[in-house]
Amino acid sequence: MSEAILSALGALFEGVRFLFAHGGPNVIMISVACVMFWLAIAKGVEPLLLLPIAFGCLLVNLPLSEVMHADGVLKTLYDFGIGNELFPLLIFVGIGSMTDFTPLLANPRLLLFGAAGQVGIFVTLLLALWLGFSKEEAVSVAAIGACDGPTVIYVSNMFAGMDRIPTAMVGALAVAAYSYMALVPVIQPPIMRLLTTKKERAVKMPSPKGKVSKAALIAFPIVVTVITGIVAPKGLPLMGMIMLGNFIKVSGVAPRLASAAENEIANVSTLFLGLAIGGTMLGTQFLTRETLMVFGLGLVAIMIDTVGGILLGKIWYLLSGGKVNPLVGAAGISAYPMAARLVQSEGQRWNKHNYLLMHAMAANTGGQIGSVMAAAIMLSLLKGLGII
Amino acid sequence: MNNTVFGLTMLVVGMGGTLVTLFIITLVINALSLFFPVRPDEEEKK
């Protein structure tokens, strides 16, 4: 009897024994989860994503946790919506529904900032290859330059599903992507000030005069979907879902669907995606030199995106005889609407009568399209090169 | 294909492809504005 009681008590302390014997990486990852909780709650850093990711990270790193074992709750969520890339795509439906392309349609030339803002993706790809990452790993790391969490998860998970990159890397990439998206207000202003003169930053841009009809707003998502399908079919699910969400909204005839896309679908997918991604952050697999390099390269990618946008802005400033404020180029990334608001506040800092918001919103929605298009083209190129 | 050739190919074709595709979309948006101008009743609402 006493032996049975001792054995039963021993079983209760199995976790503590494990923690002292092999629990170093787990303790570090539980600390990482706590830092993410703090960032999300105290600092407001991407709480919608960081809270579930951090909780998933906590769950998987508790000693003897079975949440990521076969039939474990997080493994089931992972297989249900990450392994087949469903959750990122559902989030895209919500993002599409939340995005207003009117400023872009009123000022379409600003879409080119959305292309310049993707240069970080391709330069980082090259850097990652030189640092020794495999082709698939380098593409996944470079996708952080899209400044777009679902795109990063979609691309990296495709390779994880083919066993070309470690599953734990998907978690590192997702956390890096969402962290840097939240840190855009810290990353971009010093680069803006470094690359532009006071005179350039103070340039006042007149309000866009172009008007947009409802028919054009409805036709836009269809046309972009068709173009993407023709140019980069491998990325069609990404662009198709973002445009579907927008199409439902601008059609104006299905407000319940638009509301569901913006709220229920986006919220539930975000919660499940976050938890499942957190579940990939098992200490023994996550704490590697590659993870640190992923974070470093992700930062470089977003900095180069900003440089690319501002340099195009400077060229435009020269060609237009000083009528385009180069700061608008910094909004050509996918962090919407944060990057646009940042350009507005930075512009007003140097000229109180400057209202760059509508221009920046156009560039910012251009950045959303640009990031998805760049990922779509990248995937199609990989298929063309026989890599996927 | 070695990694440097792969990376440079992706840089040139990927970035070039993104730029060209977005430029085409810019032209398409301009065409949409021509085909679907703002109607007078929409103008009044605005």
State the average pLDDT over residues A136-153. 91
String of b and e for A297-324 (b: at least 16 CB within 10 Å)? bbbbbbbbbbbbbbebbbebbeeeeeeb
Q: How confident is the model at residue A190 (pLDDT cuts 50, 70, 90)?
A: very high
Q: How confident is the model at residue A315 (pLDDT cuts 50, 70, 90)?
A: very high
CA distance A60 to A83: 17
Residue A250 has a pLDDT of 96
Tell whether A233 lies on the interface with B, counting CB pairs under 8 A.
no
Task: Please check the confidence at residue A121 and state whether its pLDDT lies above 90.
Answer: yes
Task: Please check the confidence at residue A148 and state whether its pLDDT lies above 90.
Answer: no
Nearest neighbour of A377 by CB, restricted to B9, B14, B33: B14
Q: How confident is the model at residue B45 (pLDDT cuts 50, 70, 90)?
A: low
> pLDDT tens digits, residue range A249-277?
999 999 999 999 999 999 999 999 999 98
Contacts (Cβ under 8 Å, ≥6 apart) of B9 = A381, A385, B1
Residue A61 has a pLDDT of 93
- CB contact under 8 Å between B17 and A232, yes or no, is yes
Tell whether A307 lies on the interface with B, counting CB pairs under 8 A.
no
State the average pLDDT over residues A30-42. 93
Which three-class secondary structure state does DSSP give residue A335? Answer: coil
Residue B44 has a pLDDT of 63
> pLDDT tens digits, residue range A331-376?
999 888 889 999 999 999 998 888 999 999 999 999 999 999 999 9
Task: Please check the confidence at residue A153 and state whether its pLDDT lies above 70.
Answer: yes
Residue of A nearest to B1 (CA): A385
ipTM summary value: 0.91
CA distance B13 to A385: 12
Using a CB-CB cut-off of 8 Å, the residues of chain A touching B6 are 129, 135, 385
CA distance A303 to A194: 12
Residue B43 has a pLDDT of 64
> pLDDT tens digits, residue range A283-313?
888 889 999 999 999 999 999 999 999 999 9
> pLDDT tens digits, residue range A219-249?
999 999 999 999 989 889 999 999 999 999 9
> pLDDT tens digits, residue range A44-73?
878 888 899 999 999 999 988 899 998 899
CB A348 within 8 A of CB A354: yes
Using a CB-CB cut-off of 8 Å, the residues of chain B touching A115 are 15, 18-19, 22-23
Nearest neighbour of B11 by CB, restricted to A105, A111, A122: A122
CA distance A293 to A291: 5
> pLDDT tens digits, residue range B20-40?
999 999 999 999 989 988 877
State the average pLDDT over residues A191-211. 89
CA distance A282 to A170: 12
Question: How many CA within 13 A on the CB side of residue A127?
Answer: 19
State the average pLDDT over residues A181-189. 87
CA distance A164 to A44: 34
Residue A22 has a pLDDT of 79
Using a CB-CB cut-off of 8 Å, the residues of chain A touching B13 are 381
> pLDDT tens digits, residue range A77-96?
999 988 888 999 999 999 99
State the average pLDDT over residues A89-113. 93
Greater confidence (B19 vs A44) lies with: B19
**Which residues 6-25 of B have a C-beta within 8 angstroms of A?**
6-11, 13-15, 17-19, 21-25
Q: How confident is the model at residue B46 (pLDDT cuts 50, 70, 90)?
A: low
CA distance A85 to A305: 26
Tokens of A326: 């180069």
CA distance A200 to A322: 8
Using a CB-CB cut-off of 8 Å, the residues of chain B touching A122 are 10-11, 14-15
Which three-class secondary structure state does DSSP give residue A144? Answer: helix
Q: How confident is the model at residue A146 (pLDDT cuts 50, 70, 90)?
A: confident
- CB contact under 8 Å between B43 and A129, yes or no, is no
Q: What is the mean pLDDT of chain A?
A: 91
Q: Give helix then strand counts, H and E, for chain B.
A: 3, 0
**Which residues 184-213 of A have a C-beta within 8 angstroms of B?**
210-213
- CB contact under 8 Å between A105 and B21, yes or no, is no
